[in-house]
Amino acid sequence: MSESTKVITVKGAPTKRQKEFFASRARFTAYGGARGGGKSWALRRKLVAMCLRYDGLSCLLVRRTLPELKTNHVIPFLREYDGILSYSDSEKALLFPNGSRIALGYCAADKDALRYQGQEYDVIAIDEATQLSEFRFSIFKACLRGSNDFPRRMYLTCNPGGIGHSWVKRLFVDRDFREGENPDDYNFIPARVFDNPILIEADPEYVSSLESLPERLRDAWLYGRWDVFEGQFFPEFDAAIHVCTRREIPSRLSRFIALDYGFDRLAALLVGIDEQGNVWVIREHCESGLTLSEAAIRAAALAEGESAEYAVCSPDLWNRRQDSGLSGFEIMQGAKGMPPMRPADDRRVPGWRVLREYLSAKAGHPFIRISSECKELIECLPALLCDVRRNEDASDSPHKITHAPEAMRYAVMSRPQLLSEESPLLERSILRDFNINLKKHRSFFD
């Protein structure tokens, strides 16, 4: 070692979970699951280690907003690694003497993500990844490329909840991969506050503060549970009681179709009602990129041999199209085997209230059961978030998870015979609103 060599000692020893994170060689590594697991510290140390190992490494560190990034990372970077790196405010980047750099990025909306199209990075780190939609994540995935021989890595820190909860859970927790996704590319390192003894020693009251939170928030932030999270619109949903096997579905049911159509996604459900008024979701068909006529064929196939009494659909299908002069109803009703179509009562808040009542379990017995074959409905119902402006409504973001629940809402609101004064399910105000709406659309039901 020459006399001019500067030795800098970096304080802090990693925990067992942080060592697992450092050792991961997967293309995509997610680290987290609960608060206080030491995720941010580990993310910074991993980026610094890679920048020092590879001269000229190009990294991107992303958080929802730039002020959050400066507070949560830039200041700690300079405090923890003074002498190893410097910060350039004009470049919005952390710079290393060997030419490596960590560019600072933000992404609060889809338009922000589009700014990164065409850019190339060797390593991308996304802090609080569940605050990003899957669309934004896909943009950053496309930026993970280059012509050099550096490793391509993406590191994500995450907690349950947020608009990205569903895709993070699918990829890293459930490992439910789609065509083109390589399971070997994805690695999840779970972390809880109990894995971080340094924090517990420094702040003994931190665990107590998490334990005092409301139940759902406590389960998510303290224990890292991904099946419950703050902002979840249907906390009543529990796969253990709402999901059933096909064998459990009664044979004697009054059947009908409920569908939500958009070119981006068709969600069609085959639904049955038993003699006690319980709802059974038997099968589903969910597909993107279908024309109206193609969607009708798929819905008719779902109803084939089921003696479906009707198909309840979004009322906008009764609007005439400027290009053909025909309504979506006229196009779809013409498909062979399509049951008689009815416009749904599509009022959102009353509809969600009714669906919530069906999901509620009295003495462990819910009024709705869903076949395990209906994977999209089972995935999307618990992934719905509350609308930030209207707590009684579900958010329409991310939009891709809303179609199957919308169809389910149409289904339960299409059963006027269940909305009786004696029904234990529903409030009289909802019954009154439904009857008013039913009179408005009487011609469609006759």
Token pair belonging to 334: 């013409």
Residues 211 and 255 placed together within one structural domain of the fold: no
Residues 160 and 67 placed together within one structural domain of the fold: yes
DSSP string covering 89-152, please?
A: TTTTEEE-TTS-EEEEEE-SSHHHHHTTTT--BSEEEETTGGGS-HHHHHHHHHTB--SSSSPP
Region label for 316, one of left (φ > 0), alpha (ψ between -120 and 50) or beta (otherwise): alpha
CA distance 309 to 239: 28
Residues 390 and 264 placed together within one structural domain of the fold: yes
Q: Which of 155, 187, 221 represents a domain boundary (last residue)?
A: 221
Each residue's pLDDT expressed in tens, for the chain with a length of 446 residues: 344 455 556 677 888 889 999 999 999 999 987 666 688 889 999 999 999 999 999 999 999 888 889 898 999 999 999 889 999 999 999 999 999 999 999 998 878 888 999 899 999 999 999 888 888 899 999 999 988 999 999 999 988 877 788 789 889 998 988 888 999 999 999 887 676 666 666 666 766 777 776 666 676 767 777 776 656 788 788 887 899 999 999 999 999 999 999 999 999 999 999 988 999 999 999 999 999 999 999 999 999 999 999 999 999 999 987 666 789 999 999 999 999 999 999 999 999 999 998 998 765 678 999 999 999 999 889 888 888 778 789 988 778 889 999 999 999 999 854 444 444 444 444 444 444 444 444 433 33
Residues 322 and 354 placed together within one structural domain of the fold: yes
Tell me the residue range of the domain where 441 lies.
239-445
Whole-Å CA distances, 61 to 123, 140, 157, 160, 239: 9, 11, 11, 20, 36
Instruction: Please say whether the beta carbons of 192 and 207 come within 8 A.
Output: no
In 3D space, the residue among 133, 65, 178 whose CA is nearest the CA of residue 383 turns out to be 133
CATH number of 54's domain: 3.40.50.300
Q: Which of 193, 221, 249 represents a domain boundary (last residue)?
A: 221
What per-residue confidence (pLDDT) applies to 5?
52
Residues 171 and 313 placed together within one structural domain of the fold: no
In a 3-state reduction of DSSP, which class is residue 186?
strand
In 3D space, the residue among 48, 34, 53 whose CA is nearest the CA of residue 125 turns out to be 48
CA distance 42 to 36: 12
What per-residue confidence (pLDDT) applies to 221?
67
Inside any domain, residue 213: yes
Output Rg (C-alpha) for the chain, integer angstroms. Answer: 26
Inside any domain, residue 251: yes
Inside any domain, residue 232: no
Residues 215 and 298 placed together within one structural domain of the fold: no
Residues 210 and 322 placed together within one structural domain of the fold: no
CATH number of 255's domain: 3.30.420.280
Residues 217 and 143 placed together within one structural domain of the fold: yes
CA distance 33 to 173: 9
In a 3-state reduction of DSSP, which class is residue 29?
strand
Residues 28 and 123 placed together within one structural domain of the fold: yes
Inside any domain, residue 10: no
What per-residue confidence (pLDDT) applies to 186?
97
What per-residue confidence (pLDDT) applies to 116?
94
DSSP string covering 387-431, please?
A: -SS-TTSB---SGGGSHHHHHHHHHHTT-GGG--TT-SSS-HHHH
Inside any domain, residue 4: no
Residues 301 and 372 placed together within one structural domain of the fold: yes
Residues 149 and 257 placed together within one structural domain of the fold: no
Inside any domain, residue 11: no
- Look at the chain and report how many structural domains it folds into: 2
In 3D space, the residue among 241, 324, 243, 314 whose CA is nearest the CA of residue 281 turns out to be 243
Q: Which of 221, 248, 272 represents a domain boundary (last residue)?
A: 221
In 3D space, the residue among 405, 420, 303, 272 whose CA is nearest the CA of residue 344 turns out to be 405
Token pair belonging to 273: 């009602």
pTM of this structure = 0.58
Inside any domain, residue 234: no
What per-residue confidence (pLDDT) applies to 54?
95
Inside any domain, residue 226: no
Residues 194 and 255 placed together within one structural domain of the fold: no
